[in-house]
Structures are given as structure tokens and as C-alpha cells.
Structure 1
Amino acid sequence: MIWIELLVVLFFIFLGSKMGGIGIGYAGGAGVVVLTLIFGLEAGNVPVDVILIIMAVISAIAAMQKAGGLDYLVHLSEKILRKNPKRVTFIAPTVTYWMTLLAGTGHTAYAALPVITEVAKEGGVRPSKPLSISVVASQIAITASPISAAVVIFASFLEPLGVSYLQLLAIAIPSTILACLVGAIVANRLGKPLADDPEYQRRLSAGLIKLKGNEEHKDSKEAKWSVGIFLVAIILIVTYASLISKKVGLIENPTIGRNEAIMAVMLLAATVIALVCKIKISDVTSMSTFKSGMSAAICVLGVAWLGDTFVSNHIVEIKEAAGGVLNEYSWMLAVVLFFASMLLYSQAATTTALMPAALALGVSPIAAIASFAAVSALFVLPTYPTLLAAVEMDDTGTTKIGKYVFNHSFIIPGTVTIAASVIFGFLFGGLIL
């Protein structure tokens, strides 16, 4: 029966990916119904903490967006990019990486993609180079963000094994930063020079390509205040997590746990932004970040619940079948996470569904942390929103999806970046743990 039940899980994941967007969450819930009521499995754990963290963080980001904070960050990014347009392939992923790292969501990259495209064209750089690695950087940075749901839930899995939240970040941040640099080097070597690209020349001669040029932006003081408030909130969260950690131990009996503190501080930040910046609260729910974030919460609810229902009911069989292989070839976990995340479409969902099982199988904390970046293979299927947005925004036609589905502009830079991050993860993990 285990194979039939596995097919049921895969069917609903496939169905959800075909539905697109929030559909993966819908299909995940439908799969739980089938597994429990038809096959008699016990329902798995609902990833409550993950969902609540996503909701709290997104509520603060949406408030910041309403106050103009995200636009302010994009304008700062534009200034950085325009200072050296020839090196946009290396600067652009750095920008999207840090925006995601600080915000805890990759959806912040949307606002930066048009700027990256324009700067690349002005500098005579093939836009597919910076766009491809920038999208990948915005995805992999989730596994290094101190407030992302994926990092927080993974840290809770590692703490019983003696690995602290700070140690996880100390490995994840440098390994993903260096990996993005490797990915940028590879992306910079892909494709013909822009001037030699026939599709670009065709569109240029047809008058389909236009340069917007540098536009003056005047950011309000409310926009700057909102960013400052949000950054202070992140600093508070990381500081508090450090103080209550067993490694530091300055607060031995905390009155509020780390996960709950993240939720509370993010809601506090949203409150302060609303009051100080005098935003219209009713408009917050109409922000693009709010809509995408709440969709992500539903996706995590459905698909992670489905995965946990299957794994928790068959952990003994899974240990017998895969335990020996993963113990001997620990890097195989990265391969499993890579292919799982391309279907689950969420770093948090993939982490919640598979990491407990991997650790239960005896995978070492070092191997699990090194493989963690592989939950970011959301670029493999060319249907992820930020990927599609990059293709749509590149009017030169260099960023594209091939007719064979997988031969798109993001597959090589993305795969190389994740592979490099896994390698760096093992190196830093061996030094820190």
C-alpha cells in the first residue's frame, strides 16, 4: 500500500503544480482527505508555526510596502546598479539576495527586476545574465534569512541535536553568498553578447526595445521610516534569539519562545509603521506582498501537511529503504530536496515535509544544513512567478523559456548555485559545528 499512497501524494502534488499558484495548497489538502479517509492514515502535523510566521512577517512587509518602503529600497538598489552597469551581473544578484535576506520573502525581487533589465540594456549587457542569477539569488537567500519561515522551522528541528539558530545562520549566510557569486560567474559566461544576439537585433530594428533612462525619485520620510522600523525589528529578533539560545544563555527562562517572538515583533513592527507612517490600514491587504505571502501560507498548509501525513505514517519503512543510503552518501539529501522543492514550490513546505524525516533517518546536522539550500530549486519548472516576471520584463528576448521546458535561462545558473552552496555548506559546517 505504501507505493499506492506515494502515488496519491505525487498525483496531488502534480495536480497542484498544474493548477498553479495557491492550487498547490488546495491540492495538498485534498490529498490529506484521501490519505486519511480512504487509506486510513493518521493525519500528520499541521505546520502551524510556519504558517503563523509567514503571516506575521508578511503583514509587516505589506505595511512597509504601503508606506513606500519597498519603493525606497528599489530606488537605493537602482543607484547602486547604475554606478557600474557593466558589472550588473554581479551587483544585481547581490541586491536581490539582501532584499530577500532582510525581508524573509523572495517576492521583494519583483520590484527590482525592471531596474535590472534597464541597467543591463544601458550597459550593453545581455539581460538574461543578471536576471537569471538575480531570480535564483532571491530564492536561495530564503535559506539564510533570519526571519524566513524555512530557516526558523529548520532551526527548531536542529536545536534538539545541539545546533543553534545562530550556528545555522553562520553556515547558511556565507555559503549562499559565495554560491551566488559562483552562479554569477557562470551566468556571465552564458549566451552571446547582446549586440550579437539575432532576436535582440530583430526587436531593436522593429522599434520594440526602448531605454527608459534614469528617473529622479523622491522618497518620502515615511518610506525611510518604515524601512528603519523593519530593520530594527530584525535586529531585535536576532538579538533576542541569541540571548535565549543555549549557546549564549543570558536569558535562561524566556517568557516567550523564539518563534513566538518573531511573530510578536513583526506584528509590533507593523503597528509602529502604521502609526508612525500614518498608513491606511484597509489598504494593507491589497498590497502585492500581502497577497503573495498569504498565498504562500495556504500552499505551505496544504502541501506540508500532505507530506507529513505520508512520512509520519511510514517513517519505519522509509528508514529501512533509505536510511543506509543517506547515511553513507549524505549529499544525496540535497538531490532529494532539489527535486522535491521543484514540485512543492516552497522552501518552507519542502523543509517542513522532508527535513524531520531526513534527521530521523540519521542524517548528520552538518549534512542537513549543507543540503538546506537545495530546497530553493523553485526555478527548475519555469512556472514560478518571479521567473515568469523576469521573462516578461526582458523586452530584448534574451531571457526565455525553451520549447523543451527545462532549457530555460535559469536552469544552469540555478543548479550551479545550489551545488556550490551545498559544497560551501559542508566546508563551513565542518568549521563551525
Structure 2
Amino acid sequence: MDMLLILIQGLMVIGLIAVGVHYKGMAIGLFGAVGVLAFVLLFKIAPGSVPVSAMLIIMSVVTAAGAMQLAGGIDYLVSLAQKLIRRFPRQITFVAPLTTYGFCMGAGTGNIYYSLMPVIYEVSYANKVRPERPLALAATAGQLAITSSPVSAATAAMVGLLAPLGFKITDILSITVPASILAIIVGAFVMNRRGKELEDDPEYQARLASGELQPPSSEAQAKPVTAEGKRSALIFLAGVAFIVCAGIFEELRPLVNAKGKLMEVDLSQLIQITMFTVAALITALCRIKAGDIVKSPLFDSGMVAVVALFGVAWMANTFIAANEAVIVGGLGELAKQAPIMIAVALFAVAAITTSQSSATFSIIPIGIALGLSPATLAAMWPAVVGVFLLPTNGSQIATVELDRTGSTRIGAAVINHSFLLPTLIFTAVSVGVGLLLASLK
């Protein structure tokens, strides 16, 4: 009877996540809250824990990022990325995803890719490189960068979960960053041979013959960069650098008097303080109106992530806490024999929820309860790039629409899309390399 009840509850959780995904955006969080209410009213289960620390980190980071975007800092970062991509046109399949990864990692969001799409497309097309190769890689690399960024929402979630185990943000990044970079390089080698050469592609030839497609008449230009834009980006990146350094060098963390004892400021709190300070400095030094920060796209998307994380993590924590003995007992032996199943679960949940943060909060606590080491969990964490398993992400759809050659596509079976191979390669290589690095710790 207990197993039947748990099965019903599990199906309810999955069903509400699916409904939330259908309605998109913060709906996944709203329907997660519906799930918590159902647990309370129908099953008489106390609400689980709320990821308050992660939510506050996300709020502080997107406030700083929104201020930077408002001041023109994102335009400055994009201009730097565009120069780098144009400098090595023949190596676009390697340069585009690595550049996208680097800038998305620094900014803590994959949204920078949207601004790079036209440049990647036009440079590859002008050099007769099949656009699908660099575009699919770059789009996916932007999502992989989330697990390498010290200021992304997913990293905030991961830090909050592993910090109590003594595993710091720098410990996480020391695994995810090298593993991700190697995964991108391997992916570029493989994708460089994917599909027919552009001039031999029948879809491309058909579009040329019909007059539907013309060679690009001019290169995409970055938006003009202002002094305030450059200043805001440097302030933001200085804040990111301080956070990383504070994670590496504990002596940089301030000592405060807490109940008569000198203690280091918690790193998650230091991130919040630093990023709000960054937002204040940008407001004061870059001539923006603080009230306009809430109107920036980065702040808007970030707050959607907060609501989504709030609801779905709350529901998942409620379900796991209520049935921890059965879940841990049932999965314990399986995970001991095949710990890689945690990576599979991260990949699957990320694909279902289309959220790295939600997958992190749903699965990593199970891995912790099963006794897996923090290094092993960090190694398997990049599997959340599974958000690209299904072609439902906005950047995937935008890429397909942008590529006028027709080389980047979503197949008739839906799952056979241009982003599937990079997603699988990035997952396999980053997790494999990560586990190797974790074994050395």
C-alpha cells in the first residue's frame, strides 16, 4: 500500500512538472506550489524545505546582471565575442562554441548566445562552412556553461547543496570547467564532420535555386559600445572575480563577530552581498536608474527562474523528505553498483523540466542521501545539459529559424534535431572527464 501511495505521489509530481512545462516560464514553479498544496491537503505531508539561499543568490546576481545590461555592459561583452569569432573564420566550428561558453560562463546566463547567433551564422556561411555545425555547438555550449559559471542560478543551487559537506564553489568549478572545455573540443571535432558540406546539401541547393536564399550582403554589427557599458561590464566581472578568489583563498573572506566568536562570512552570503554591491556601483557610476533594472530582460528572466525554482524545488523536496527512507533504500544499492544513474537522472529531469536548477535541486539531494562523494556529484552535474534533449528551448528554435540555409533543423521525429548530437557528446565527455578528475581528488 505504501509503495502504491508513493507511486501516486511520484506520478503527481511528474504530471505537475509536465503541466508547468506546457505553460512555460514560471508556470513550472506555480504548478510546483500546487503540488505542495496537494501534499499538505490530500496526503497530510508537511511542506519540505525551500531553497532560500539559492533564490537569494539568483536575485542578487540577476539584479547585478540587469544593471549591467541596462548600462550596455552586455553589448560590450558581445562586441568582444564578435571580434574573437571574426578573427578565426575558418576555425568557426571550434571558436564559436568556445567563445560562447566563455562569455556565458562569465555572465552566468546562456542568453548571450542570442546576440552571437547572427555573427556565427554569417561568418560560417561566408566561409562555406555548414552553419549547423558551429550554431548547434554554440547554442549547446551556452547551456553547458551554466555549470561552469560562479554566478549562474544552477551553480547557486549546487553550492548551497554541497557547501554543508565542505565542498566549495572552487572545488566544483575545478571539475566542471576543464571537463566542459574538453567536451566542447571533442564535440567540435565530431561536428566538423557532421552532415554534407554546404555546397552538397540538397536543401541548401534548393533554396538557392528558388531564389529564397542570397549570400549575406553585410556582416552583422554589434551595437555601439558606450563608456558606461564598458565600465559596467568591468565592474560586474570584477565582482565575479572576487567571488571566485574568495572561494579559492579563504583568507579573503571577512571575519565577523558571531555570538562572541570570529567566523568567516558564509560564501553564499558573500555572493549575495557582492552582487548587490556590484548593482549599486553600476547604478552610481554608469548613470542608470535603479528603478529601470526590473525592466531589463536579464532581470525578468532571472526572476522567472526564482519562481520556477521556488515551486518545483519545494515540491520535489516535499516528496523526497516524505519518502526518503523508501527512495534512498530503493536506489541505494543501484547507485552503489552504478553511481552513473545519478547522471542519467540529472539528464532526464533537466530534459523534462527544461531547467538546470530544477534538476539540480531534484536529484543532487538524492545523491547526497545515498552517500556519494561531493566530487562525484560535481562530476556528474554537467549532465543537466540534457535541457537540450528536446527542441523546446527558445535558443534552439531561434537558431533553426536564423539558419536560412536549412542546415540546422528539427527532424520529422522531433527528437532527431541538430542539437541532439552536441548534447549527447557534451554529456558523455564532460561526465566521463569529470569522474576521472573526481577520482584524483
Output the TM-score relative to the length of structure 2: 0.93
Structure 1 vs Structure 2 CA RMSD: 1.9
User: In the alignment, does 2:23 pair up with 1:14?
Assistant: no
Q: In the aligned structure 1, how far is the partner of 2:188 from the partner of 2:286?
A: 37
Which residue of structure 2 aligns with residue 425 of structure 1? Answer: 434
Q: In the aligned structure 2, how far is the partner of 1:211 from the partner of 1:297?
A: 40
2:54–2:153: 8 Å Cα contact kept in structure 1? yes
Which residue of structure 1 aligns with residue 259 of structure 2? Answer: none
Amino acid at match of 1:93: P
1:126 is paired with a residue whose SS is: coil
2:253–2:264: 8 Å Cα contact kept in structure 1? no
Which residue of structure 1 aligns with residue 315 of structure 2? Answer: 306
Which residue of structure 1 aligns with residue 402 of structure 2? Answer: 393
* Cα distance, 1:108 vs structure 2: 2.0
Which residue of structure 2 aligns with residue 99 of structure 1? Answer: 103
* Cα distance, 1:331 vs structure 2: 1.2
Q: In the aligned structure 2, how far is the partner of 1:264 from the partner of 1:159?
A: 18
2:20–2:29: 8 Å Cα contact kept in structure 1? yes
What do the CA deviations read for 1:93-152 (whole angstroms, capped 9, x no partner)?
111111121111212221111211111111111111111111111111111111223223
Q: In the aligned structure 1, how far is the partner of 2:320 from the partner of 2:112?
A: 33
2:50–2:313: 8 Å Cα contact kept in structure 1? yes
Q: In the aligned structure 1, how far is the partner of 2:152 from the partner of 2:20?
A: 23
Which residue of structure 2 aligns with residue 194 of structure 1? Answer: 198
1:47–1:305: 8 Å Cα contact kept in structure 2? yes
Q: In the aligned structure 2, how far is the partner of 1:210 from the partner of 1:33?
A: 56
Which residue of structure 1 aligns with residue 415 of structure 2? Answer: 406
The gaps in structure 1 that reach 5 residues or longer are: none
1:116–1:130: 8 Å Cα contact kept in structure 2? yes
Amino acid at match of 1:333: I
1:346–1:376: 8 Å Cα contact kept in structure 2? no
Q: How does 1:184-333 map to 2 (within 5 A)?
A: 184-205=188-209, 206-214=211-219, 218-244=224-250, 253-254=262-263, 256-333=265-342
Q: In the aligned structure 2, how far is the partner of 1:430 from the partner of 1:204?
A: 53
Which residue of structure 1 aligns with residue 181 of structure 2? Answer: 177
Select the residue among 135, 138, 157 that pairs with 1:134. Answer: 138
Amino acid at match of 2:232: S
Which residue of structure 2 aligns with residue 60 of structure 1? Answer: 64
Select the residue among 157, 165, 168 that pairs with 2:169. Answer: 165
Q: In the aligned structure 2, how far is the partner of 1:220 from the partner of 1:249?
A: 34
1:86–1:124: 8 Å Cα contact kept in structure 2? no
1:57–1:267: 8 Å Cα contact kept in structure 2? yes
Q: In the aligned structure 2, how far is the partner of 1:307 from the partner of 1:190?
A: 39
1:9–1:31: 8 Å Cα contact kept in structure 2? yes
Q: In the aligned structure 1, how far is the partner of 2:41 from the partner of 2:106?
A: 42
Q: In the aligned structure 1, how far is the partner of 2:334 from the partner of 2:218?
A: 55
1:69–1:224: 8 Å Cα contact kept in structure 2? yes
* Cα distance, 1:155 vs structure 2: 2.8
The gaps in structure 2 that reach 5 residues or longer are: 257-261
Amino acid at match of 1:335: V
2:350–2:384: 8 Å Cα contact kept in structure 1? yes
Mark the CA change 1:199 to 1:71 in structure 2 (over 3 Å): closer, same or farther.
same
Mark the CA change 1:38 to 1:250 in structure 2 (over 3 Å): closer, same or farther.
closer
User: In the alignment, does 2:154 pair up with 1:145?
Assistant: no
* Cα distance, 1:249 vs structure 2: 8.6
Mark the CA change 1:266 to 1:160 in structure 2 (over 3 Å): closer, same or farther.
closer
Amino acid at match of 1:234: V
Q: In the aligned structure 2, how far is the partner of 1:255 from the partner of 1:159?
A: 14
Q: In the aligned structure 1, how far is the partner of 2:204 from the partner of 2:80?
A: 29
* Cα distance, 1:376 vs structure 2: 2.1
Mark the CA change 1:3 to 1:216 in structure 2 (over 3 Å): closer, same or farther.
closer
Select the residue among 79, 88, 92 that pairs with 2:92. Answer: 88
Which stretch of structure 1 is more off in the superposition, 419-428 or 156-165? 156-165
Which stretch of structure 1 is more off in the superposition, 310-319 or 388-397? 388-397
Which stretch of structure 1 is more off in the superposition, 307-316 or 276-285? 276-285
Amino acid at match of 2:304: S
* Cα distance, 1:251 vs structure 2: 5.2
Q: How does 1:16-55 map to 2 (within 5 A)?
A: 16-55=20-59
Q: In the aligned structure 2, how far is the partner of 1:149 from the partner of 1:295?
A: 11
Identity of aligned residues (%): 39
Q: In the aligned structure 1, how far is the partner of 2:52 from the partner of 2:226?
A: 37
1:44–1:312: 8 Å Cα contact kept in structure 2? yes
Q: In the aligned structure 2, how far is the partner of 1:391 from the partner of 1:216?
A: 21
* Cα distance, 1:335 vs structure 2: 0.6
Q: In the aligned structure 1, how far is the partner of 2:127 from the partner of 2:301?
A: 32
Select the residue among 381, 384, 398 that pairs with 1:375. Answer: 384
